[in-house]
Amino acid sequence: MTDAVLEIERISRRFGAVVALHEAGLATRPGEVFGLAGRIGAGKTTLLRICAGVLAADTGQVRWRGAPIDPATRKRIGYLPAAGGLHPDMTVVGQLAYRGELHGLDTNEAHRRAQVWLDRLGRRSLRDRGIGTLGTDDRRLVALLATLLPEPELLLLDEPCAGMSPAGIDAVLDVFRDQVDKDVPVLFSSNDFDLVERHCDRVGILRSGQMVAVGALPELTADRPRLIAVDAPDATPDWIASVPGCRPVDVDGSRVVLELGPETDDQAVLAAAMATGRVREFTLLRRSLADLYDVEAP
């Protein structure tokens, strides 16, 4: 990918006998939201930690703008671990300013940026609240803001929306859009396939440490068998046999979900169903990422 800014090539990592990652790879472009999807234990956290320089890979390489990531590069990366890394005894503004100062901001600038973000997200009232008093939504938002304060060139976010309400997730997505407008790539992990599918430009799917798919959603769902739900209450069980290249994959009373072969015309299925009598449902089902990839490896 010629326009990639972050390139992850054939990364492998073992923990004793456990293979956490095996030759995993992906690349992100400027100003895109890239979702790293997979079940708990798939290797998402390990991969993000390697990208952030928190953990070393056994083999493979991570590059930023064509060069291996070094300590200077890491200072330009905003990394948010799943735990958030906030001190429960600090106030929100104190925590944000402290994190900004750790990245080289002077005290006044750190406080200014903290206030700007709190205002922008409608969280001004949190300014002097203790971190330990915050609910899940606000705590995770503050952790994200702490990552943003130094204005990183790349965001690596481990499960940033975990446990959040729909309103809290919307606030996180607003932050993503702000970063995309600045050409900052956002790479975030989630075990929520639907979230990744709805809000990402491209997706990488990890299963048991292996990257089983990478690409834009249309690429990942193309050339997959079509599914059609048909409810023909007057039909006999053998009506499906009249349509070549069509097989049932789920039956619930008179309603059947059919998988169509590449040459099967859905109108032929409809005609066959209508020939039996009433048709209460004829629906082309969308194949979601979860349908296609959220399964255990054999």
Domain boundaries, the chain: 6-218, 226-293
Tokens of 122: 């409608």
Rounded to the nearest 5 degrees, what angle is found at the Cα of 77, between the Cα atoms of 28 and 9?
Answer: 40
Query: Could you report the per-residue pLDDT of 26-36, keeping only the tens digit for each?
Result: 999 999 999 99
Nearest to residue 80, comparing CAs of 31, 44, 120?
44
Q: What's residue 284's pLDDT?
A: 85
Tell me, which fold does domain 226-293 have in CATH? Alpha-Beta Plaits (3.30.70)
Calculate what percentage of the chain has a pLDDT beyond 90: 68
Average pLDDT rounded to a whole number, residues 117-134: 92
- Residue-level pLDDT at 270: 93
248-276 burial: b if 16+ Cβ within 10 Å, else e? eeeeeebebebbbeeebeeeebbebbeeb
- pLDDT for residue 27: 94
Confidence at 60, pLDDT banded by 50, 70, 90: very high
Q: What DSSP element (H or E) covers 254?
A: none
What percent of the chain shows pLDDT beyond 70? 97
CA dihedral sign, ordered 83, 87, 88, 92: negative
Rounded Cα distance between 18 and 3, Å, is: 34
pLDDT (0 to 100) of residue 114: 92
Helices 107-120 + 136-148 axis angle, to 10: 130
Q: 162 in helix, strand or coil? A: coil
Structure confidence at residue 86 (pLDDT):
87
**221-278 per-position pLDDT tens digit:** 776 778 899 999 999 888 988 888 888 988 999 999 998 988 889 999 999 999 999 9
> How much is the pLDDT for 298?
36
Residue where the block lists tokens 């104190």: 94
pLDDT at 295: 55
Helix (H) and strand (E) counts in the chain: 10, 14
Give the chain's mean pLDDT: 90
Q: Which amino acid is at 242?
A: S
Q: Which fold has domain 6-218?
A: Rossmann fold (3.40.50)
pLDDT: is 189 or 3 the higher one? 189
Instruction: Find out whether 138 and 88 touch, Cβ atoms under 8 Å.
Output: no
Q: What confidence category does residue 1 fall into, taking pLDDT thresholds of 50, 70 and 90? A: low
Assign 297 a pLDDT band (cuts: 50, 70, 90): very low
* pLDDT 10s digits, 45-54: 999 999 998 9
Equal fold, 6-218 vs 226-293: no
**First and final C-alpha spacing in the chain:** 30
